[in-house]
Amino acid sequence: MSQSKIDPTTLAVLAGRMEQIADEMDATLFRAAFNPIIAEAHDASHGIYHAQSGDTLIQGKSGLPIFVGVMALGVKAVIEKAKKDDDLADGDIFIFNDAHIGGTHLSDMRLIQPYYYNEELFCFLASVGHWHDVGGAVPGNYNPAATDVFQEAVVIPPVRLARAGKLNQDIIDILMRNTRLPQSAQGDLNGQLSALDLGVQRMDELLNEYGAVTVKNALVALSDSAESLMRSEIEALPNGRWEAEDFLDNDGIVDEPLAIKVALEISNDELTIDFAGTAMQCAGPVNIALPTTLATAYVALKHLFPNLPANAGVMRPVNVLVPEGSILSAEFPAPTGGYTETILRMIDTIFCAAAQASQTLSVANAYGTINALCIAGKRDNGKPWVMFSFYGGGHGANCDGDGLNHGNAPISTATIPPMEILEAAYPVMFRQWALRPDSAGAGKFQGGMGAIYEIEVLEDNGAEAFLFGERGKFPPQGIAGGSTAALNRCHYENDGQWHSPPMVSKMRQVTLKQGEAVRLETPGGGGFGKASERDPDSIATDVHAGLISEDYADSVYGTLWRKSKHD
């Protein structure tokens, strides 16, 4: 472990200042972005990265953690390209979305800029945001039938968007020609460029005030501290090996389940996360590339140990083993559009294995799918509209209490776009946006409730709907004796009748006429502890509030519920 001399007060101040830089970059993009997925849902992130290794040094509190973790490998790819080209310069900006190089899926556009101070490379600044549409076969890019990346979106390897401070308009022209929504894409790009500009300005101010040597020592000390804290957290747990397994419904092509298996092994102050036994690379877009897998392991650990600082030092005592050829180490050009579903299942299995080591360490499974729904059509003037959004569900219960009702997925700090924003931007109406009764897993502490969304198309020209979801066959798991939650359900309306997609949680190119709708019923969270230990008053309160029905209370809580009715 390296050592650097810096007093604790200065270290704390600099840590806060640098985190604030990333936070300000997040806020700049959120305010400037054109599409609601960034502006409202905050599906974006910014960070500061090591000049030589690309390791994460600082991340903001508002952005998506999975983005920051993956970005480190994206920065490494840029470093390798710059070494090969031997012409990295101050003012260069690289842009790419290639998930196999250092991304997540092709909707997530990454901008990476070397930051120079006194003509010396000091670090890299990075911005990532989920663009509304990047071409491909399906509006919004969530194509559940894709069998390679070329059917998902335009693939951009790391290329220079700017060289020595001058933007390359040719690259911008290519990007804008390959999107259904060029105005939105241009606005999001400008927002990311503004965020990078702000990052450069704030880094200049910081280094002018404290000096490059002091700030560099602080970054080293923060990484060393993160490693030390991680080792302490691991060492406090018992030595041993704990395994868990769960499944994806299907890959969107073949209707067969795909296993995600993990083993956590603790040896003193070191942790091994082994995904041996996980399904092999598949035809459909639930594959993920190795950089995404490594970043997901980091996100899961940050959930288990929330007091850890956010930088690469956390991963020094952790060894992640990923089988070659598996869906967690897919090779180009395997499709990766549905990466969110796979990383959610990874986190679920890690939580279930961790709960065996310590019931106070983990929470039960959250709802486990973002239900990426895209409804798209053309307005009367012929211009396309694309409403892409993700949707919430219940969070898992824990040793201290019930799970959160209707939250967002635990892979991020993003928010669910408000229906008022979606209705204002697109020709749709939400018939229903409500909690889903009886959707949570029972237990001493009950999981959170899922949600019901029913979305009607208002445009005369109709629309097409595409859904990429999960948890239609394998429900969110409880821990410590807690029960599973409800399954995910999707229905669509045609000619007065409701239908379910053949792949259960995935559908493509469903035609909706004016006045027809899509309905999502999302899972709740898993329960914690035995249902027989639940407080009867809590059961009565949930029934009175309409969160659970009397029939549900009778079936899962039995005598406890009947006792509360008679008291």
Q: What is the pLDDT of residues 80-136, one digit of tens each?
A: 999 888 889 999 999 999 989 887 889 999 999 999 999 999 999 999 999 989 998
Does pLDDT of 3 surpass 50?
Answer: no
pLDDT at 140 (0 to 100): 82
Of 411, 407, 442, give the one whose Cα is nearest residue 534.
Answer: 442
What is the pLDDT at residue 236? 94
HSE (side-chain half, CA atoms, 13 Å) at 155:
19
Residue 434's pLDDT is 97
What pLDDT sits at residue 509? 86
| pLDDT > 50? residue 2 | no
Q: At what angle do helices 8-32 and 182-210 cross, to 10 degrees?
A: 160
Other CB atoms within a 10 A radius of the CB of residue 194 amount to 17
In percent, the amount of the chain with pLDDT more than 90 equals 76
> Quick check: 506 and 489 in contact, CB under 8 A?
no
For the chain, give every domain's residue range.
8-227, 363-534
Q: Does residue 417 have a pLDDT over 90? A: no
CA distance linking residue 380 with residue 76, whole number of Å: 46
pLDDT of residue 76: 92
One-letter amino acid at 65 equals P
Which residue would you say has higher pLDDT here, 3 or 253? 253
| 399 vs 386: CA distance, rounded Å | 42
Give residue 256's pLDDT: 96
> Does the CA dihedral 197-198-201-206 come out positive or negative?
negative
Q: Quote the mean pLDDT of the chain.
A: 92
**For residue 476, what are the CA distances in angstroms to 6, 361, 421, 548?**
46, 18, 30, 18
Cα separation, 474 vs 451, in Å, equals 18
Query: 479 φ, ψ to 5°?
Result: -130, 160
Q: What average pLDDT does this structure show over 185-198?
A: 97
3-state secondary structure 225-264: HHHHHHHHHHHCCCCEEEEEEEEECCCCCCCCCEEEEEEE
- Is the pLDDT assigned to residue 557 strictly greater than 60? yes
Rounded to an integer, the average pLDDT of 264-289 is 96
Of the pLDDT bands very low, low, confident and very high (cuts 50, 70, 90), residue 412 is low
Split at pLDDT 50, 70, 90, the class of 439 is very high
Cis peptide before 475 (omega within 30 of 0): no
Q: What is the pLDDT of residue 564?
A: 62
Q: What is the mean pLDDT of residues 509-516?
A: 94
Among 45-59, 104-118, 346-360, 412-426, the least confident range: 412-426
pLDDT of residue 472 exceeding 60: yes
Please tell me the least confidently modeled range out of 119-128, 353-362, 387-396, 412-421: 412-421
CA distance 88 to 496: 61
Q: Please give the pLDDT value at position 4.
A: 53
Residue 181 predicted with pLDDT over 50: yes
Rounded Cα gap, residues 163 and 93, in angstroms: 7
Rounded Cα gap, residues 510 and 501, in angstroms: 9
**Beta carbons of 95 and 156 less than 8 angstroms apart:** yes
Q: What pLDDT is attached to residue 383?
A: 87
Residue 132, amino acid: H
> Is the model's pLDDT at 491 over the cut of 60?
yes
CA distances from 132 to 34, 310, 391 (A): 9, 28, 16
pLDDT at 1: 39
For residues 76 and 51, the answer to whether their CB atoms sit within 8 Å is no
Average pLDDT over residues 209-229: 93
What would the pLDDT profile of 328-379 be if each residue is shown by its tens digit? 999 999 999 999 999 999 999 999 999 999 989 999 999 999 999 999 999 8
Lowest-confidence segment of 7-21, 157-171, 443-457, 547-561 by average pLDDT: 547-561
What residues contact residue 301 under an 8 Å CB cut-off, 6+ apart?
230, 308, 314, 315, 318
How many helices (DSSP H) and strands (DSSP E) are in the chain? 13, 20
**C-alpha–C-alpha distance, residues 62 and 43, integer Å:** 9
pLDDT of residue 229: 93
Spatial distance between the Cα atoms of 535 and 540, rounded to a whole number of angstroms: 9
Q: Bigger pLDDT: 29 or 42?
A: 29
